[in-house]
Structure 1
């Protein structure tokens, strides 16, 4: 399956049971809600998917299960985050074998590569596969920036097609478009900047709170792209306190709590993460429950 790299791509959470095993029935419940809401693709095993705690066997199970359930309706993209280039190349081969349609590729983990090394990393992994690749550019969390000069070098790889833009600088959308035109599709990777970046020309949104609120997320995207900015902004203003849960180190726990509150997930996380408790949990619950109590009535966004 080719990937258009536009629209809403949830970075879906990995559902666990109380016994710390994959909860595939609950995962499917969320997945079906995402499909019904009109998402355009899905990303497995990202930061929200607790990738660093998943075994290769679990990634295989999740990927094959998702590919089967979406039945070709949307592309399934798998995150690759490794410390060694050869391991990333091996993961790319496995991802294709499992049936994924594309890869989201992080820069090297644990080692802060320089510009030459970072470019070589992306080029080597991309050259090893024919799967479409989305570069994840998040220098705030991962300490390595994929600069414009690096993207200039990556142009030679036709399967490097998109970027998950998480620099926290909305102007970077304009810089990318000014420099490369439509060569790289841009998907906003930070919930709190999604509307702004889409107005500036970003093609899509890799979402976090979409895991709990898929319809509202897709509605904002489609309204913006239809030029109905005022309606999108009204929903976005309601959404913002929820979207800000994506900004914290405990975003996984926060978003899983939101999923549990709306019946699309559970609070179970994998250690070393622990479920929320006490005043912290109550504070997050207040944000979620206030938003749910005031949930907006959405227009017929699916017809846009």
Structure 2
């Protein structure tokens, strides 16, 4: 399946039951809600989320379950965030064997690679697979930035590097990327609190977090922006902002899962070492969610745009 790298692509949370096993029934309910809302793809194994706690078998089960639920409607993409080039290549090969249609690829985890090491790492993985790839560029959280010059080298040698999840927090970088590479490199916003601004600046799509709890509102913002209905998009985005800010936190998984409980699309079960929120922080997050739910907007018919 070819990937268009546009629209809203949820970085979905991983669902667990009370016994710390995959909760595939709740997971299926959430994926169906994403599809009904009109998302353009499903991204599994969020790197700032709980992907690092999953076993290879759990990753395989998630991919195969998602493919079953999606049934060809949208592409299924899995993250690669490994410690070594060898392991990353193995995940790429496994993903292909499991039936995934694309990869989201980070620079090396934990080790702060040089620019040369980063480029070689990304090239070797890209050249090991035929699957299309979106590079995740997040120097704020991962301390490595893939510069325009590095992208130029990568794109010259790796036809299957097709997109970037742009998370530098620098809105003008969207314009730099589009000016330099045009449609050769699709740009998707990777920071929820900068999504509308990024799309107005030319981003092709949005790799979203709070979409896991609010799929319709997220897709509506994208559709309205692309249709030029900025006033209507801004109304939803302004309501959404306190919730979107829950995504830029080390506890983003716990925050998003509490929001999923509020909308009936998940549970708050997390995998250790993460723990459910408690005390003042739990009260603060629930207050934000409860306030948003009380003011949840009525959406226009965005699907017809």
Structure 1 position 99, deviation (Å): 0.5
> What is the rounded CA distance, in whole Å, between the counterparts of 1:147 and 1:248 in structure 2?
25
> What is the 5 A alignment of 1:34-183?
34-47=34-47, 49-156=49-156, 157-183=158-184
What does residue 300 of structure 2 align with? 299
Structure 1 position 105, deviation (Å): 0.3
Residue 256 (1) aligns with residue 267 (2): no
Residue 25 (1) aligns with residue 16 (2): no
> What is the 5 A alignment of 1:178-197?
178-197=179-198
Structure 1 position 47, deviation (Å): 2.7
Structure 1 position 49, deviation (Å): 4.5
> What is the rounded CA distance, in whole Å, between the counterparts of 2:64 and 2:48 in structure 1?
19
What does residue 270 of structure 1 align with? 271
Q: Partner of 1:155: helix, strand, or coil?
A: helix
Q: Which runs of 5+ in 2 are unaligned?
A: none
> What is the rounded CA distance, in whole Å, between the counterparts of 1:47 and 1:97 in structure 2?
21
> What is the rounded CA distance, in whole Å, between the counterparts of 1:178 and 1:225 in structure 2?
19
Are the aligned partners of 1:238 and 1:291 in contact in 2 as well (CA < 8 Å)?
yes
Q: Partner of 1:210: helix, strand, or coil?
A: helix
> What is the rounded CA distance, in whole Å, between the counterparts of 1:58 and 1:49 in structure 2?
15
**Matched length:** 304
Are the aligned partners of 1:168 and 1:190 in contact in 2 as well (CA < 8 Å)?
yes
> What is the rounded CA distance, in whole Å, between the counterparts of 2:48 and 2:267 in structure 1?
14
Are the aligned partners of 2:188 and 2:207 in contact in 1 as well (CA < 8 Å)?
yes
Are the aligned partners of 1:12 and 1:48 in contact in 2 as well (CA < 8 Å)?
no
Are the aligned partners of 1:11 and 1:48 in contact in 2 as well (CA < 8 Å)?
no
Moved more, 288-297 or 39-48: 39-48
> What is the 5 A alignment of 1:165-244?
165-244=166-245
Structure 1 stretches of 4+ with a deviation exceeding 4 A read: none
Task: Provide the aligned C-alpha RMSD in A.
Answer: 0.7
Are the aligned partners of 2:49 and 2:252 in contact in 1 as well (CA < 8 Å)?
no
Q: CA-to-partner distance for each residue in 1:193-245, whole Å, 9 max, x for gaps?
A: 00000000000000000000000000000000001111000110000000000
> What is the rounded CA distance, in whole Å, between the counterparts of 2:49 and 2:119 in structure 1?
26
TM-score (norm 1): 0.99
Distance 1:48 1:289, change over 3 A: farther
> What is the rounded CA distance, in whole Å, between the counterparts of 1:176 and 1:187 in structure 2?
11
TM-score (norm 2): 0.99
Are the aligned partners of 1:11 and 1:49 in contact in 2 as well (CA < 8 Å)?
no
> What is the rounded CA distance, in whole Å, between the counterparts of 2:146 and 2:233 in structure 1?
30
